[in-house]
């Protein structure tokens, strides 16, 4: 069952919420994640939501279109940085209508 973030945090009035799904693939991770990375076979999927304000979405679209039409741009020039914040939120649990005492312990 997918639980949307929109019900957990207040969204801007002009927020655009788009459900997204990512296929998890092997990424040659090292260290403590190597064991889990080795188990990936490309079939597992993660679901989430892309939440963005309308103004930001319009700007991102305009920048992407400009980059596509200006393919001869100098790659040595770094992209312009913006003073914006991004929240990457991972919900790490099961959503269940049952009370906590009925759930499996972690």
For residue range 9-56, what is the model confidence (pLDDT) as tens digits?
678 888 888 888 889 899 898 999 899 999 999 999 888 888 888 988
Residue scoring higher pLDDT (5 or 19): 19
Three-state SS at 69: helix
The region of weakest confidence among 6-10, 26-30, 65-69, 90-94 is 90-94
95 with 1: CB under 8 angstroms?
Answer: yes
Confidence class for position 71, pLDDT limits 50, 70, 90: low
Considering only CA atoms, which of 5, 9, 32 is closest in space to residue 19? 5
Helices (H) and strands (E) in the chain, counts: 2, 2
């Amino acid at each position: 069952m997918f639980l949307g973030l929109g019900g957990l945090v207040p969204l801007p009035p002009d927020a655009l919420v788009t459900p997204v799904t990512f296929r998890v693939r092997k990424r040659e991770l090292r260290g403590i994640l190597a064991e889990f990375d080795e188990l990936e076979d490309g079939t597992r999927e993660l679901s989430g939501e892309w939440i963005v304000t309308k103004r930001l979405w319009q700007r991102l679209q305009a920048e992407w279109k400009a980059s596509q039409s200006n393919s001869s741009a100098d790659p040595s020039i770094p992209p312009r940085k913006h003073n914006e914040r991004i929240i990457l939120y991972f919900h790490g649990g099961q959503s269940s209508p049952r009370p906590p005492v009925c759930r499996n312990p972690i």
